[in-house]
Structure 1
Amino acid sequence: MSAKLRQSAVPLFLFACLLLGGSPQGIWRNLLLQIVGLGLIAWALMAAERSHPTSAGRLLLWLCGLWFALVLLQLVPLPPAWWSALPGRAPVLEGFELRGEPLPWLPVSLTPAATWSILPLMAVPLGLIAAVVVLGAYRSRWVIGALVIGTCLSVLLGAIQLSQGGLYLYDNYNTEAATGLFANSNHQATLLLATLPFLGALIGLQQQSRSNGRRSRQSAALGRIVIALGAVAVIVLGIILNGSMAGLALLVPVALATLAVSLPRAGKAPRVLVSLAVLLMLGALVALASFTDAGSNTTSLATRSDIYRVTWQAIGDTFPVGTGLGSFREYYRLDENPALVDSFFVNHAHSDPLEWVLETGLLGTLLLGALVLWWATRAVRLWRAAQPDLIALAATIASGAILAHSLVDYPLRDAAIQAVFAVSLAFMAEPRSHAGEQRRRSRGRAPRHLTLDDDGSVSG
């Protein structure tokens, strides 16, 4: 396999995820993405040529493996005496008693079929992480190019939707909003926010190229900066047109952090900007929590605060074992007020961490805590590095924006956002400087001189 063909695997798959993975409604589209994701995983397991992951990369792979193991653990059949003693199983026991049937062996999950359906959904993020960390099947510049092009196409489609009132790709209730390639306008905002910092990284890299290169290279770098700034303007306009409350609230802190990445040689200014961005993001999250119904659509309940209250009650009834992945919709109805139910229903907790804790219990909570700890540790280490990797820094901002939005919504339910999040985590684990070292080792000789590759990495 040629090097360019190998390096196009992640960019092409990411672009496909953006085009096809905007909603779980696209069953056949998502199935195609899952098949390709499984192919990437199989490739990573059987490939003779692999990279040597960093310790952070290996830990990220372990976390992925534990996620997979957690799903399987919830599907292991238990004897009646065991599962019937678990908290929250009274409705199941009553059902068998009313039917006069003996208690069968059942798993921890109250909805085993829904939990089984989680396994293929894992193929997209796990496949991308394996392709970056294990295979190194990417070039940073190509990946960012695929992300920017897909995002700009989504903005363009959203503008057409607003002007013409049509061209929606999925059945949705956001018929007066710019949803772009998504069914949910909030998730479109998540993509736009996550793309901004990578454009900032490109601008920063081109500034470095201008200061270090010849006049011809300086002119080319200036042209790329102008193009990147144009893309930034398109995305900011897209966030404004989108109208998502969370998107608008997180725009300022993400923009400040993006500015920090685009100014790599501005002394202490980048770290000051990032510190301010973190404070503003915390303030934005507090504001969103205070207006939990802001930006939400009509449901069987008036506000998201009601959904959170019912979900917390369900967590208390089923902790520490949880209800099983994919069971939220069915279990939520047990605690929902029937008098408030109308033609709309609650399908998610509008908070991914809250829904995750309900469905996975103590083990899932510990796994989520481990992921957040890994992310925070890597983010601090990357930002404190003497020679920071700009694309890795952008990945911390993009993944941080997705995590922040997930506190008050469920963007990670879409394959497109899963793909962007997975690539961001992989870039945090495997910065380009490490990739350059891997290329030098694979050549089997020491470099005689240093050059700057197109994606900004240093190689011999």
Structure 2
Amino acid sequence: MPTNRSGTFLAKWQEALRVLGWPLVLLLLVALVLGGGGVRHGLANLVVQIVALGILLLYPGILRRFRDAAPKSLIILVALTLLLPIFHLIPLPAGIWQSLPGREMALQSRELVNSGNDWFPLTLDRGRTVTALVALVGPLAVIACFRFGSNSAPRHALALLATVAFVQFAFGVIQFAAGGDTLTLYETNQVGRFYGFFVSHIASGLVMVIGLCALVGHYLSDERSNVATLLYLAGGALLVIGVILTNSRSAVALLILPGLWVLAVAAKRAWVMPRRTRWGFLAAGIVGAMAVAAVFATNDRLGRTWDRFDSFEDSRPDIWEDTLVGIDRYWPVGSGVGSFDEVFQVEESLEMLVAKKAARAHNEYLEILLEAGIFGAILVSLWFVYLAYAVIRGLRSVHAPVTLAAAMAALCFALQALVYFPLRNMAELCVAGLLVALLTAPLTIKRDRSH
């Protein structure tokens, strides 16, 4: 009797929805569709935040379950992350805030309106700090919604990440088919780049690279038939094409990580094949690689990405240099979480001015140092230590493929943060929250060692 494949597929999605819970799936999809515009699109971000807050308030059991099931170290780190912007918003006596580094101009401007002796918080831009604090409700809800302690939740979460990437890819294809800027969501988009739901082609590329990592991890998390293997390969090829069409050099460079992983898996499996089958497998791989190379070489849209690698000159090094000046001015307390755009205008040197305002440091680590000083540096270090420990534990468990996929995706975030700001929009913040939950999952599952 033939197998009802459509029924099986639907059953798998129903199982995934049951295990993950519809609030998590809904929040990720809403964040993808509406949360890719960054701080300048506050109303769209507000919808994502309301959905996240509504989930936490309407289902208080989610927070209780998170408190009971999540590791205490994760709960402490989440609390410290929330407390940092709150600490920056606490009003301070005039004698304290006036003595903080870099407050000379703030004091002079406040004295002009006779408020030099009033109480003010540490941050120099309360509005942006409040915005940064409210933005954290998204990743908090994602982490809290994750079913810690479930053996099947990590694998289903990888499927959700891959689905997010495919939805992004599909919408980008529709944009390309429509032509021009008919379906572009944000005013800064340039025709010819693959944006999907994002204002930035770089963010668009990163989400699809993360989806590719998730796809590889999901494939390795279970035994697959030859037909399923071909489907996974086809899906991966589509995401690779999508990344290249974004014209983002950093996103294309990040393809090396899942690419090397796929090659290592293929080499390992080819090694145990019979010799005749191995040579056929190798020949098919070579033919496939040549076909892909031919498509890339003859397609103008794909060729534009390679052309961008001819020159790496841009304004980023100049922005970094001016940011370092700002870090020195406000060290060790920082200028306030989210205040970069407000304070950087003072640090920007005249000879490095460009027509377009910098708005961001284009380096997440430097921006955190300027805004949060030594407290931000300590918090980031604690997150790195915690996630590294979680990765080590996860790689020694039966969930090693899932952990490796999540670790590789998190590494993509960390590497792109050197030249961009991947944690400054709601969509990628929520994706990052799910990666944190995925890496934490093995710490909450008993008897998970693979030996």
Scaled by the length of structure 1, the TM-score of the pair is: 0.77
Aligned to 1:310: 322
Is structure 2 residue 240 aligned with structure 1 residue 236? Answer: yes
Aligned to 1:378: 390
CA distance in 2, matches of 1:371, 1:227: 36
Tell me the CA shift for residue 99 of structure 1: 4.1
Aligned to 1:248: 252
Distance 1:339 1:181, change over 3 A: same
Secondary structure at 1:179's aligned position in 2?
coil
Tell me the CA shift for residue 49 of structure 1: 7.4
Tell me the CA shift for residue 187 of structure 1: 0.5
Distance 1:399 1:40, change over 3 A: farther
Aligned to 2:119: 105
Query: In structure 1, which of residues 154, 167, 188 is the aligned counterpart of residue 168 of structure 2?
Result: 154
Per-residue deviation, residues 51-93 of structure 1 (Å, max 9, x unmatched): 78677x3312211100111111111111111110110001011
Aligned to 2:209: 193
Per-residue deviation, residues 333-390 of structure 1 (Å, max 9, x unmatched): 111235664652111000111101110111111001100111222223323x164432
Instruction: Note the 1:144-183 alignment, pairs <5 A.
Output: 144-162=158-176, 164-166=179-181, 167-183=183-199
Aligned to 1:61: 75
Query: In structure 1, which of residues 204, 213, 225 is the aligned counterpart of residue 220 of structure 2?
Result: 204
Distance 1:380 1:303, change over 3 A: same
CA distance in 2, matches of 1:306, 1:232: 37
Tell me the CA shift for residue 138 of structure 1: 8.4
Tell me the amino acid that sits aligned with residue 426 of structure 1. A
Does the 8 Å contact 1:40/1:128 carry over to 2? no
Secondary structure at 1:50's aligned position in 2?
helix
Is structure 2 residue 364 aligned with structure 1 residue 352? Answer: yes
Is structure 2 residue 45 aligned with structure 1 residue 30? Answer: yes
Unaligned runs of 5+ in 1: 211-220, 268-290, 297-301, 439-456
Aligned to 1:450: none
Aligned to 1:84: 98
Does the 8 Å contact 1:315/1:358 carry over to 2? yes
Does the 8 Å contact 2:244/2:252 carry over to 1? yes
Distance 1:369 1:153, change over 3 A: same
Tell me the amino acid that sits aligned with residue 54 of structure 2. G
Is structure 2 residue 331 aligned with structure 1 residue 319? Answer: yes
**Greater displacement, 334-343 / 20-29:** 334-343
Distance 1:333 1:146, change over 3 A: same
Tell me the CA shift for residue 165 of structure 1: 2.3
Is structure 2 residue 414 aligned with structure 1 residue 403? Answer: yes
CA distance in 2, matches of 1:118, 1:80: 25
Tell me the CA shift for residue 137 of structure 1: 12
Q: Give me the identity figure in percent.
A: 27
CA distance in 2, matches of 1:388, 1:257: 16
Aligned to 2:7: none
Tell me the CA shift for residue 225 of structure 1: 2.8
Secondary structure at 1:23's aligned position in 2?
coil
Tell me the amino acid that sits aligned with residue 88 of structure 1. G
Tell me the CA shift for residue 173 of structure 1: 4.2
Does the 8 Å contact 1:83/1:106 carry over to 2? yes
CA distance in 1, matches of 2:157, 2:324: 39
CA distance in 2, matches of 1:72, 1:198: 34
Does the 8 Å contact 2:147/2:153 carry over to 1? no
Tell me the amino acid that sits aligned with residue 404 of structure 2. L
Distance 1:338 1:58, change over 3 A: same
Distance 1:49 1:317, change over 3 A: closer
CA distance in 2, matches of 1:325, 1:168: 30
Tell me the CA shift for residue 171 of structure 1: 1.3
Tell me the amino acid that sits aligned with residue 31 of structure 1. L
CA distance in 2, matches of 1:15, 1:49: 24
Is structure 2 residue 165 aligned with structure 1 residue 126? Answer: no
Aligned to 2:280: none
Does the 8 Å contact 2:19/2:153 carry over to 1? no
Tell me the amino acid that sits aligned with residue 371 of structure 2. E
Distance 1:65 1:261, change over 3 A: farther
Does the 8 Å contact 2:89/2:121 carry over to 1? yes
Scaled by the length of structure 2, the TM-score of the pair is: 0.78
Does the 8 Å contact 1:204/1:263 carry over to 2? no
Secondary structure at 1:411's aligned position in 2?
coil
Unaligned runs of 5+ in 2: 1-14, 272-307
Does the 8 Å contact 1:78/1:108 carry over to 2? yes
CA distance in 1, matches of 2:213, 2:230: 16
Distance 1:261 1:116, change over 3 A: farther
